[in-house]
């Protein structure tokens, strides 16, 4: 297969091209560049935020391998051919990192590590009451590769864990809720709400006032998915009213988050620059190469995006 690599954000695209070529010796892998004279013969592209020109200059593309799990931005690209198969990254080393990210924030809140850090600055020796896991039920929005790994990590530490998803597929160690009808009961038992949903018209704005109101008191939000899941003004109001105790946010509507944005300086919001789960080169290349080899053998592959569901 003739394969091109086209990522607008990657600083070292040649490393990806080299690793993909090494993993796929029977195929040809090259760096695609906008405007460069191109053979127009590529059948597959490995991409992150590719320019629209890719589809104009490569009319024979059949497969688009996304270097991330979320395909929301890709699906909005003008000129995206309807017959193209889009393949999302399944885990690719992200799920473990995201479980760690969520665990860090839960422990910081539940064990009072943030408060102890403040106390240290005041040389204050003050022991808070021990934490009980049953007081910190964790609820995960999304139960795919990432959500189920996050659930597994919390369940292994004996936190009460629930997941909510569209389909309600079983997840070991977690109580499962599904569909709009299952959301109120899921939220009512949740104190730490962790979002790893794909961004679709059905999930956009799901982190809103109604959702915050339905959670257990003194709840904490971790958003590791997309900025557009969150209604920003509702979060600020929920923190102001004390409905939420705090939030850890890794994804934003506008990235980089503008310097003037109120989230940066908010004492109860912790901002990170979209790093909760980063696709790791080795695992990502192995996965994509495995799928290209399977396709070349005429086999079906997993992770193909359902255009109707938009993930």
The rounded distance, in Å, linking the Cα atoms of 75 and 84 is 11
The rounded distance, in Å, linking the Cα atoms of 178 and 182 is 5
Regarding 68 and contact with ligand GLV (CB under 6 A), the answer is yes
Q: Do the beta carbons of residue 311 and residue 142 sit within 8 Å?
A: no
Closer residue to ligand GLV in complex, CB, 49/208: 49
Element (H, E) at 22: helix 13-23
Closer residue to ligand GLV in complex, CB, 102/215: 102
- Catalytic residue, candidates 274, 286, 297, 307: 274
CB of 41 to ligand GLV, least distance (A): 28
Closer residue to ligand GLV in complex, CB, 59/273: 273
| Strands of 2-7's sheet in order across | 28-31, 2-7, 44-48, 63-66, 85-87
Closer residue to ligand GLV in complex, CB, 70/139: 70
- Annotation marks residue 274 as catalytic: yes
- In the chain, which ranges are E strands? 2-7, 28-31, 44-48, 63-66, 85-87, 138-141, 161-165, 175-178, 192-195, 219-223, 244-249, 269-271
Name the one range near ligand GLV by CB under 6 A: 23-31, 39-47, 64-72, 177-185.
64-72
CB of 60 to ligand GLV, least distance (A): 26
The rounded distance, in Å, linking the Cα atoms of 197 and 211 is 15
Regarding 199 and contact with ligand GLV (CB under 6 A), the answer is no
Candidate list 4, 42, 69, 215; residue touching ligand GLV; CB under 6 A: 69
Residue nearest to ligand GLV (CB): 68
Closer residue to ligand GLV in complex, CB, 68/139: 68
Regarding 227 and contact with ligand GLV (CB under 6 A), the answer is no
Name the one range near ligand GLV by CB under 6 A: 28-36, 66-74, 112-120, 263-271.
66-74
Where do we find the tokens 């799990």? 69
Q: Do the beta carbons of residue 76 and residue 49 sit within 8 Å?
A: no
- Annotation marks residue 266 as catalytic: no
Q: Which residues bind ligand GLV (CB under 6 A)?
A: 68-70
């Amino acid at each position: 297969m003739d394969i091109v690599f086209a990522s607008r954000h990657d600083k070292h695209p040649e490393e990806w091209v080299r690793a993909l070529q090494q993993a796929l010796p029977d195929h040809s892998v090259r760096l695609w560049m906008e405007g460069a004279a191109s053979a127009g013969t590529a059948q597959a592209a490995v991409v992150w935020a590719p320019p629209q020109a890719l589809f104009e200059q490569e009319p024979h593309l059949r497969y688009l391998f996304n270097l991330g799990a979320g395909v929301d931005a890709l699906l909005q690209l003008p000129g995206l051919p309807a017959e193209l198969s889009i393949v999302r990254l399944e885990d690719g080393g992200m799920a473990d990192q995201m479980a760690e990210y969520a665990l860090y924030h839960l422990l910081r809140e539940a064990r009072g590590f943030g408060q102890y850090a403040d106390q240290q600055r005041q040389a204050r020796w003050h022991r808070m009451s021990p934490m009980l896991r049953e007081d910190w039920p964790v609820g995960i929005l999304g139960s795919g590769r990432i959500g189920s790994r996050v659930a597994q990590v919390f369940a292994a530490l004996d936190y009460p864990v629930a997941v909510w998803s569209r389909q309600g597929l079983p997840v070991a160690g977690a109580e499962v809720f599904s569909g709009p009808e299952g959301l109120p009961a899921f939220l009512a038992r949740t104190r730490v709400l962790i979002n790893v949903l794909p961004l679709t018209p059905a999930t956009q704005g799901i982190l809103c006032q109604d959702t915050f109101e339905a959670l257990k008191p003194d709840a904490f939000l971790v958003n590791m998915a997309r900025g557009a899941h969150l209604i920003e003004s509702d979060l600020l109001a929920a923190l102001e009213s004390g409905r939420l105790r705090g939030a850890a946010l890794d994804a934003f509507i506008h990235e980089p988050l503008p310097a003037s944005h109120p989230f940066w300086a908010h004492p109860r919001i912790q901002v990170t620059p979209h790093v909760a789960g980063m696709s790791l080169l080795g695992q990502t290349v192995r996965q994509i190469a495995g799928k290209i080899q399977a396709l070349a053998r005429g086999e079906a592959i997993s992770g193909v995006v359902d255009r109707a569901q938009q993930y």
